[in-house]
Amino acid sequence: MAEAEELIGKRPLVVVTGGESAAVRTLLKSPAAGVPDLILKGLAVLAQQPPRPRARRR
């Protein structure tokens, strides 16, 4: 975290996700945002996007 803070000039936002994110969050020394279903939210966003054309194989 100290290295990241030095590189970007401010404390980075830490996001923990997944089923055990609440348990992991209690172990962190830095403040962290917990989003237990971030992956599912991302998949929902992708599912709403129009399909992209596939690249042709040679």
CA distance from start to end of the chain: 45
Which pLDDT tens digit goes with each residue over 5-51?
999 999 898 999 988 888 999 998 888 999 989 999 999 999 999 98
Which pLDDT tens digit goes with each residue over 40-56?
999 999 999 998 888 88
- Whole-angstrom Cα distance, residue 32 to residue 39? 17
- Whole-angstrom Cα distance, residue 29 to residue 27? 7
